[in-house]
Chains A and B, each alone.
Chain A
């Protein structure tokens, strides 16, 4: 493939990765920002989202579009409620102690993964996309000094992939508005800045914590529902999103929303482009190298404020 169309294809593929990653990582960043909880089970909430999406579409059994629409609404709510319950029954009991929450969420990771294996089974199962048209993209070339268009082999995207990119943008803007413009966002930010002071002002901190943990997991589940028609639901699929989300959150600055989104774009696009031109392994190596460099030279991340 020529360089131009090659780069364009890589960018489009990278954009899909980046879109899903931005949603997943912002959930992780939200939980860390407000609660100071490093949620190692985040990837499993992602996995649960796609497995439940398969389950819901099977239950609804109507056309692919109806089943998918129901899943898009029901699944994040289900996962969010489950996460909130986990917060109240596990994390609250150990007083959100940093070390113990890490161990506890590792435990939750294994419980979710193994329960899925025991019930849903070890198979990868597909979910039909609500719509999926292949869109061939043109490229230009100079023939006799004039610009002409042609359709290179393989330069294409599907309408569904475009929709995923669009949907991720809309959801991120909505999350941003909730955080900055709504009362709930205000309470969250107050809790983030000073938990004790917030409590003194009558903010129900425990309920906010449960809500934030649920919202974070719901973001991961939403990303999973969007990606599952492109990939497939499988009980081991949580590992990659977890690793990439951590990379994104560390580069962007723990708890910084704009930093997270920007880092997701950076990692997603570079993953797409480096994978296409070199190898996917090199993409992962470079991403982890960037993390190491950020931790050495700018430990608070690109956008994170220094914490005292």
Chain B
């Protein structure tokens, strides 16, 4: 703090020339201050700090790399447009090793050590479930980009929100009619054996039964597994559709071994693109996927009717029309998920602006401002598509895409409506105290 100066009554009054000199000096100094200090109009030019919990290492590393790039691109864009409430956005990244215990520690670091305004960006559901209670205790708004149903199920707390990506329950519910109508009614599910996979197991099984289909067998595989053939003999002979979703470093091995297992006699296949996120669909051994279907949160390949918003998003993040990095065509992105970071940061910006957010004392006002949101129109801020946010369940709902592998590319064959993804509320977080 500067001390206030009083002009001595007996001292010489500053001349006009002195005043001009001072102004000139001030102007020169202003021209040299770094960019972040130029945000005029704000009551403080301190940056708004977003604690970014990133899976830089561990089984979520491929996602972490692209979540990081998308977040940086979104933050750069927001800062170019004048920041939030006239203040620049600063991303404070911490690696959580894709580990729930470390995740909770990282959230604590954000709140107490880095003095972050919010926590943001967690993907893997077990890390979210491990970290969210700590965020709630610390009253740190925690914006996750995870897909898990744990936010909308009421398992977490009022400080945890998921406004940038849809949840598994709504996704699988919207997929079930397509699977039952086009592929078959006798399904075998293969999924990772942790919270995210269990969401698939529980909600898809219910959704396909509602369509008159049935799940013949549930095959759970630990996400750290490295060899998969030994699980496949459990697939019943009369399976019409294989429903697969897998995560972890060995997804390519998983899909390859699935192909080797079936050889030329494969049943219909419907996969969540998670099984092949960050993996080139042209990799050797994946030829058998031709003609199979995938759920995609956002189509990896630029489609013929690509929106301007998608083109803008690709350009800013540095992704080419095939969903790979512009600088390295072998570095395939996690395109079906990473838009969530971009959209979430834009929701944070809108929320902070409508709450008149100034600092940590306004955290509760930020939560209430986001809860008040409903329609999020298709735009540069929401390039994946229009969305509807449910303030009671803290979960966003949006379009889902089904693509088919044709000549080694994923071509869009079906887009669900937002209404296809609705289900009755299971919680009302707004009744909890802030």
Contacts and interface: CB of A to CB of B under 8 A. Distances in A.
Interface of A: 1, 6, 9-10, 13, 17, 117, 121-124, 126, 128, 132, 134, 136, 153-154, 156, 158, 230-232, 234, 236-237, 240, 272, 275-276, 280-281
Nearest to B224: A236
Contacts of A154: 232-233, 235, 261-262
What 8 A-B pairs have minimum CB-CB distances, sorted nearest first? A122-B61, A124-B249, A275-B230, A1-B233, A122-B57, A231-B226, A276-B230, A234-B249
Given A153-B237, A154-B232, A121 B250 contact: no
B260 A124 contact: no
Nearest to A16: B227
Nearest to A122: B61
Contacts of A153: 237, 262, 265
Contact of B253 (A13, A17, A231): A231
Contacts of A13: 227, 229-230
A122 B225 contact: no
Contacts of B260: 134, 156, 158
Given A6-B233, A123-B62, A153-B237, A230 B56 contact: no
- Among A128, A232, A240, the most chain B Cβ lie within 10 Å of the Cβ of A232
Interface string B35-64: 000000000000000000000111101101
Interface residues of B, number: 32
A166 B397 CA distance: 54
Contacts of A126: 252-253, 283
Nearest to A154: B261
A9 B228 CA distance: 12
Given A154-B261, A154-B262, A231-B226, A124 B57 contact: no
B262 A123 contact: no
A10 B253 contact: no
B222 interface: yes
B39 to A, nearest CB: 36
A196 to B, nearest CB: 44
A158 B262 CA distance: 12
A124 B232 contact: no
26 contacts: A6-B233, A9-B229, A10-B233, A13-B227, A122-B57, A122-B62, A122-B64, A123-B61, A123-B65, A124-B250, A124-B252, A128-B284, A153-B265, A154-B262, A230-B227, A231-B226, A231-B250, A231-B253, A232-B226, A232-B249, A232-B250, A232-B252, A236-B59, A276-B230, A280-B230, A280-B231
Given A123-B62, A124-B250, A117 B57 contact: yes
Interface in B354-382: none
Contacts of A275: 230-231
B285 interface: yes
B230 A122 contact: no
Contacts of B27: none
A235 to B, nearest CB: 8
B263 interface: yes
